[in-house]
Amino acid sequence: MNLHVAHDLLACPHCGGALAPVERRWACDAGHSFDVARQGYLNLSGGPEPANADTAAMLDARARVQAAGVFGFLSRGLDAAVPLVGVQTVLEVGAGTGHYLAGLVEDRPPARGLALDISRAAARRAAKAHHRVASVIADVWRGLPVRDASVDVLLCIFAPRNPSEFARVLRPGGRLIVATPTPDHLVELRERYGLLGIEDDKQERLRERLAPHLAHQDTVTLKLTTTLGTEVLDDLIRMGPNAFHDPPRPTAPEQVRLAVSLSTFLLALA
């Protein structure tokens, strides 16, 4: 039960007031209150899970891929993009398993993390990711249940973005780090198995949408070419939205390219 690490971070999704723990619920002064799940996360979504939320099977596949170290190159890139000192609060939106967030806070004690995701299966996993990571269910599109100017580093890794909310929760001088797949990310798998495509203008659109709110600092492209066995290939395919289309199972090992853009944006000092 790690929710206490977010004691001064969470805001009521209805009125924006500070949320504080009251027995097995969290409540604001206006009387809105929210259940803590048995598995240790707080549900601030105020509604049912959407049909396209990541499923437990997708989260299991993602966890196996991460445990196999396939995305170790991304963890190292994130580590280089986040300062080692002076970081107290890291928020990850669309956090999934909480894998990257846990790695960053582990190496920056006593930094604490808040994992936010719309999927219950993700929130369950993130609640166990690290003893200094709290886990909440919320919808990025509907606004972040997080207090103004409270976050030093905000991570958005293959996840939905809400630029005005990102700027609101970052403290002046705080940074947003966005990871997006480049057009050649897993291109071999996409061609062979007819998987969902990647839109080519993602980087340009990302910068355009963030420009009114945050200053672009830099973008690096992280790449890895590796040969993976059929089980990891299958998990790579099924850990994302392709799982909803039931693509064919890989039958042979394959050399694949992984390529991710990592962009850093800063909130100007007041």
Distance, in Å, from the CA atom of 98 to the CA atom of 189, rounded to the nearest integer, reads: 25
Query: Whole-number minimum distance, CB 173 to Zn ion, in Å?
Result: 29
* Beta strand spans in the chain (E): 20-22, 25-27, 33-35, 42-43, 89-93, 112-117, 133-137, 151-157, 170-181, 215-228, 254-266
Decide: 174 and 154 in contact? Cβ < 8 Å: yes
Write down the least CB distance from residue 23 to ligand SAM, Å: 27
Say which entry of ligand SAM, Zn ion, none residue 30 contacts (CB below 5 to 8 A, set by partner kind). Zn ion
Q: Shortest approach of Zn ion to residue 40 CB, angstroms?
A: 22
The least CB distance from residue 161 to Zn ion, in Å, is: 25
Structure-derived torsion over alpha carbons of residues 213, 155, 257, 195, reported in degrees to the nearest 10: -80
Interacting partner of 17 out of ligand SAM, Zn ion, none (Cβ under 5 to 8 A depending on kind): Zn ion
Residue ranges binding Zn ion (CB under 5 A): 12, 14-15, 17, 28, 30, 32
Q: Which residues bind ligand SAM (CB under 6 A)?
A: 53-54, 62, 94-97, 99, 117-119, 122, 139-141, 157-160, 240
* Residue reference for tokens 């071999």: 188
Minimum CB separation of residue 213 from Zn ion in Å reads: 25
Question: Cβ–Cβ contacts within 10 Å for residue 245, how many?
Answer: 11
87: partner contacted, choices ligand SAM, Zn ion, none (Cβ within 5-8 A by kind): none
Pick what 159 binds: Zn ion, ligand SAM, none; C-beta below 5 to 8 Å, kind-dependent.
ligand SAM
Which of Zn ion, ligand SAM, none does residue 15 bind to, with CB < 5 to 8 Å depending on kind?
Zn ion
CB atoms within 10 A of CB 189: 21
Residues 96 and 168: their CA atoms lie apart, in Å, by: 22
